[in-house]
Amino acid sequence: MPDLERIRRYEALLDRAGPAVEKLLVALRDYAEAKPLVEALREYYRSDWQEDAAMDEAGLLPPDLKRGVLSQDAVFDLLAGDQAIRETVSRLFF
């Protein structure tokens, strides 16, 4: 006689794990595409960002210019998130 409870238990595990794996695969593909963008922002933050932010503070930029990138928190939060991803992936897989 088959152990129906065991089959049900593992079926429930598959039902929970399958969507999580799929979501992570999609997120990792999106992240792989965004990684060069994050690196470009990291380089900008290290080089020209301070000059651009100073120009903004001095009122030298057009008032209708979108300037989220000049907010120190926005770039910092993105880079901190990137670091958290690296640490999590490293902890989970290496």
Q: Where are the domains of the chain?
A: 4-93
pLDDT band at 94 (very low <50, low <70, confident <90, very high): confident
Separation of alpha carbons 42 and 49, rounded Å: 10
pLDDT band at 93 (very low <50, low <70, confident <90, very high): confident
**60 SS3 class:** coil
Q: Is residue 72 a contact partner of residue 53, using CB atoms and an 8 Å limit?
A: yes
Say whether pTM exceeds 0.75: yes
24-83 per-position pLDDT tens digit: 999 999 999 999 999 999 999 999 999 999 999 999 999 999 999 998 899 899 999 999
Query: Which pLDDT score is estimated for 72?
Result: 83
